[in-house]
A and B are shown apart, each in its own frame.
Chain A
């Protein structure tokens, strides 16, 4: 019997959430005024949770390292948000969204959580429209939808390529309303450096004011961590520069189990790396795969000629191109899930068909779509016998209307016009499905400490489908936490304010200060970035798109050695008593250096291939699926949950067995 209790409610799948809501304890409005909640992170999950909890009457304090809650990295999400509205009448339903998500996650998520997510997805759209979020509309005035990878319906709502921005600004506006009411106190340019536990319960945090350098104590009856994912452990990712694992990792060190750290999403359509100076990677939305066709040259000589600049992609005839996704996966074609698309790109590039200087890029080509839309537009506009130039003009206008900002972004970065020549793309680290273990109520293994959004592990299994991150963040924050946290806080109505002048706060503050002192006092050989880049290289080469036992074992040793070097030799100029961005980075990288090792350890124990986790030793040997990832449900149908025991190498593995009562486990085929 596992010590992990997921607290999944009884009853049929479709009734679990309703039954649960009917049974959980509530806190009456007068008592809510006496209860404080800390929300760390102000992205979609944190922002929406803070707004809703404040609206319910709790006293909320929010924390973010940015200068405003509006800058959280949810803002960069481009393509859209899923919801089972079935506005298109194409057969969508809560069940189908649930099914697609479980299948897309390669059967490594919890049925009950995913079903709840699918159920509340429709509320999100209603809610956001009521808030004035300007989603894309059709001429009739109703909401428009597009399709995303891994599904056969159009259920993605969007606001051009800025869906995350619009949703986040919606949550931020809801926060602003509560800030004006005095129900939210926003602590911006603050970073959580530790979690404070009193009698085993989460009762506050230690935070650093990033402007003054002061170390502050903040108490609360519950703490919500909505601090996003840990993709920056790879140094290069599509995350923001400041995205980090510190809040989650500090909670982990205080007793919160960390789940499935090895589940990382490598997004197939990012702008390729251009050089060593690169500080981050830029995503090109998955929505582009609705209209873009992915290819490399069929002949290796052509690929070589392109790499050396002797041949242009537009000079290759249709028959000389290998549309490898359409070839390998006729049913889903260019819209296979992200993990499948990424591996296929790597396979072609490893085989020598890459199309840029580094050999690590494939084409995403819009020429066919421009032709198709151009002809369609000519027809509907009543233009007879349109010239090729006219078709091109009309088609480009349609594409611009759909993806204009993405094309502009591409042109600014790469200095090539994607309307005229195919885009070059390559996979990059984008999202982490792993995170803090939570039960059905989103509570971690520390009572009173909750994790929401990308920071928890719960809904996406081993691979997240496109447009589902925004859905999960808002579902957790608007519709799940506000209920489940009340159940916990109902026993706290007589507790009174949590004092901060106690031994527990003293001790946590001392640890934080000692750590800062140790960082500032290191011998001073290399910059923080030097170590971060080294860590990223180890992670990308040995824990990246494909992994094997030998590489993972090396990674564990390499990271441990790098961590020791870091603590002895990192160089941080300036002082801790004031603004010091290098010190901020150092604290984050120090935690990445621990997480990275646990990541490799988790990948090593999971000897199967599933979703974003591909073990070279576990591959289909023959049949139609030959060469595809091979899952092992007999031995690995569980969530790994690591308990902190000092050094990462001593972490103890706990397993939550996944039970599938409603879905039959199948080989995930997109052929």
Chain B
């Protein structure tokens, strides 16, 4: 198929960006979206132009490195996939596709389609861990039985890949889904109880400091999340936060 691409180009964080038009031809349905961009970049290199910069690494939907706002949707029109797993069979010959970076104040553009998501790391630094030493002197793993449903829910929350689609989908650029997934994982497990109060306060505080917006329960994050992280996590985090605030 032949496509028209309208791609955001921006030299660096301080430069002014703009949409530039490109044409690609001979795209096959079996190609992933990023492989389609590879084809474009190969063309640009041949012409001696700078290829379009975008984040990507594992190309199997798990590292969370790829992003892209495709026709206004994070990770494009398909559900439950990252951009690297979006296949061109979802498009048709003659389509025009808008490709932009994830937009949020807390995610400044690095270059072209690549954004800086280090704010997510800093939220994790604030409390996304259990303070246990790693030198191995712990109790036997089976000494703490955990209800299977809780363990499964904790796992489901922990499958967040930290891509930032939730922020990009949200009209408020809120990071509540991301933050609540980590808070939930630990809130559901006995190992996380000890530090539960400090954790939720610190992580929410950091989230606010980074300049993410608030949650107004529109639920766009859940729909666009490539890993299906549930809105229930936000509700759980709100309860945890309220509890922690009351404890003070």
Using a CB–CB cutoff of 8 Å, the interface residues on chain A facing chain B are 48, 51-52, 55-56, 66-73, 75-76, 85, 87, 120, 123-132, 134-143, 159-160, 162, 165-166, 169, 172-174, 176-177, 179-180, 186, 188, 211, 238, 240-242, 274-275, 277-280, 282-283, 408-409, 412-413, 415, 478-479, 482, 524, 527, 529, 571, 573-574, 578-579, 581-582
Contacts and interface: CB of A to CB of B under 8 A. Distances in A.
Contact of A134 (B42, B138, B155): B155
11 contacts: A68-B120, A68-B162, A71-B58, A87-B142, A128-B141, A134-B189, A176-B125, A188-B121, A275-B28, A409-B61, A478-B136
Given A85-B141, A132-B186, A412-B85, A277 B51 contact: no
B248 interface: no
B125 to A, nearest CB: 5
A415 B89 contact: yes
A130 B152 CA distance: 17
B151 A137 contact: yes
A47 B111 CA distance: 27
A221 to B, nearest CB: 20
Nearest to B51: A582
Nearest to B123: A176
A179 B127 CA distance: 11
Given A76-B62, A581-B51, 18 more contacts: A55-B134, A67-B117, A68-B162, A71-B63, A73-B63, A128-B141, A130-B130, A137-B146, A137-B152, A139-B148, A143-B141, A173-B129, A180-B125, A242-B57, A279-B35, A571-B48, A574-B50, A579-B114
Q: Is the interface of B mostly helix, strand, loop or mixed?
A: loop
Interface of B: 12, 28-32, 34-35, 38-39, 42, 44-46, 48-51, 53, 55-65, 78, 80-81, 85, 87, 89, 110-111, 114, 116-118, 120-121, 124-126, 128-136, 138-142, 144-148, 151-152, 154-155, 158-159, 161-162, 185-186, 189, 191-192
Contacts of B87: 412-413, 415
A573 B44 contact: yes
B118 A68 contact: yes
Contact of B12 (A70, A139, A188, A579): A579
Contacts of A241: 56-59
Nearest to B81: A412
Contact of A279 (B34, B121, B130, B134): B34
B80 to A, nearest CB: 7
Contact of B53 (A140, A413, A529, A581): A581
B116 A67 contact: yes
Contacts of B128: 173, 176
Nearest to B129: A173
Contact of B135 (A67, A478, A524): A478
A478 B133 CA distance: 10
Nearest to B191: A132
A132 B59 contact: no
B35 to A, nearest CB: 5
B187 to A, nearest CB: 10
A75 B63 contact: yes
Contacts of A282: 59-60
Contacts of A48: 134
Given A134-B185, A413-B85, A415-B89, A176 B58 contact: no
Contacts of B154: 132, 134
A179 B125 contact: yes
Contact of B191 (A70, A130, A578): A130
A543 B227 CA distance: 38
